[in-house]
Amino acid sequence: MVKDVPTALDDDATNAAGSSSSLIGATTAGGRSLVYQLTSFYLRTPLKLFRPARFDYLHYLRVLLVGDDKAVAADQKITHAKAMRKSQFWNPRYLYYLENSSIGLLSKGLNKYGWRVIPERVLPPLIANSAAGVVLYTTYLTTLTHFSKSSDNNIPTCHSPWDVMRAGFIAGAAQAIASAPIDAIYTRSSAEQLLTHAKNYDNLWIYGLRKLQEIGLVGCFGGFGLSLVKECAGFATYFTVFELLKGHVCEWAIESVKQYRELKFQLRESRLAKMFQVTTEDDQDRQLTHPTSFMSLREENWFHKIFVFVGGVSAALLLQVIHYPFLKLQKIHLSRLEAFDIYTKAAANSQKNGNVQWKPEPELDNIKIKLKPRNKRLFHIYYHSYLDTFQHVYFIQKSTGSTCRWLYKGFIRNTLAIIPGTTAGLLFLEVMRNKLGEASLDTPTHQFKSPFQSF
């Protein structure tokens, strides 16, 4: 009987099996830690679900489809009306709302342009929104962690309002700097320009690069003062309101309910109350067991969910209260800057062509940004453009009689569009919390339960 002697091949197989096991273990551990970091980072900041999108990712596609539909709308109007008369129970408005919804626009765009419409015309605004959100929340979390470490705070889940306000102010400034070129493209691109350039540029990336070259580096930061004030004031209020309601107000409400229940229990167990009560055996057994906590963990979780929702909606509403009038001022300011760019470009072209007799229109002589000499720097011109914008707002105030009414016109309709998104975001947040372990993110003493632990 010959015994099996281990050979070099067996050693190689054992080493290969050991190395593969190590590779699998390292991959599993790395994947688990990565998923933990991503999900914990996402669930620690539910406020991003309540932030409205900075750029409409279907704006360019909507302009193109509406512009193309106007050409064939006259031919289809008669046949469409005849078809609708046959159905007495169908309202044409329902079809209009369905076709102009996000799903309807995407389906129409896919049918007309193919799948290339997504990377060329839908993804650029989506990536711009994601980049703006990454800059905003990364700056906010980093600065808030730095301020929280430097300040003495006994409650780890509740940050100081002063720290939150400073972190939100800095985060808003960072987002204003990062979003200045995209804002310059987005606000200076009218529907007519988009339809005109769509014939030359099918790709929104190329259109953005050409627009940036046309505007220039200094032009990208034209009107940056309004954007800086809007973002800093808006997000300082936004983060402060949310953290205040989610943290301090929620803890105060929980403690108030606990104190009320404790007082109610002490009054029920007092001697004066026992004199007027008829005790039974069940009451005697109940008296022997004293509650250690006057609120269960499930009730505390429900309190946190309610205040997350209330804080998110309140913060989104206040953000719109600050941003909405500034957006109108920015549109006026940037439109006048664009008119100035067109004016200077036409003047330069006329000088190149030798047209010395070319003069500006008489109505343009009153604009302050054109009264500066040509040898002055562009920063002086942009400074006087603010004065011109405020003069225009003053003219609107004299003609309408109420500046606030003009600034907040259409505010309710624009703000109500945020509430369905916040509700859907809250539901998604709670589903993710239930799946990935809610207690690990609410209390740091609990251990995170990852779906990779079964490996």
User: Would you list the domain boundaries of the chain?
Assistant: 58-70+92-114
415 Cβ contact list (under 8 Å, min separation 6): 317, 320, 324
Report the length, in residues, of the chain.
455
**Whole-number pLDDT of residue 174:** 94
Per the CB < 8 A criterion, the answer to whether 207 and 179 are in contact is no
The two most distant CA atoms of the chain are separated, in Å, by: 115
What is the Cα–Cα distance from 220 to 215, expressed in whole angstroms? 6
Tell me 277's DSSP state.
Answer: -
| Angle, alpha carbons 67-68-71 (nearest 5°) | 100
CA–CA dist 77, 296 (Å, integer): 63
Q: What is the pLDDT of residue 195?
A: 55
pLDDT of residue 240: 92
Each residue's pLDDT, cut to its tens digit, for the chain (455 residues) gives 444 445 544 555 555 545 554 554 455 445 444 444 444 444 445 555 555 566 566 666 666 666 544 444 444 444 445 544 544 444 555 555 566 666 777 777 777 777 877 887 778 878 887 788 888 888 988 898 888 887 665 555 678 889 999 999 999 999 999 888 887 777 666 555 555 555 566 677 887 788 788 777 777 777 788 889 999 999 999 889 988 998 889 999 999 988 888 888 887 777 666 666 655 555 555 554 556 677 888 888 888 888 888 888 888 888 889 988 988 888 888 777 777 767 777 776 776 666 545 455 444 444 444 434 444 556 667 777 788 888 888 888 888 777 888 888 888 887 777 666 555 554 554 555 556 554 444 444 444 343 333 33
* Nearest CA-CA partner of 325 in 251, 384, 396: 396
pLDDT value, residue 322? 92
> For every residue of 109-131, which 3-state class applies, written as one string?
HHHHHCCCHHHHHHHHHHHHHHH
Calpha distance 441→122 (Å, rounded): 34
- Distances in whole angstroms, Cα of residue 132 to Cα of each of 22, 127, 243, 335: 39, 8, 21, 23
Return the closest-CA partner of residue 421 out of 307, 317, 318: 317
- Record the tokens describing residue 103, joined without a space: 């799903």
Do residues 189 and 212 lie in contact, with contact meaning Cβ atoms separated by under 8 Å?
no
115 φ/ψ angles, rounded to the nearest 5 degrees: -70, -15
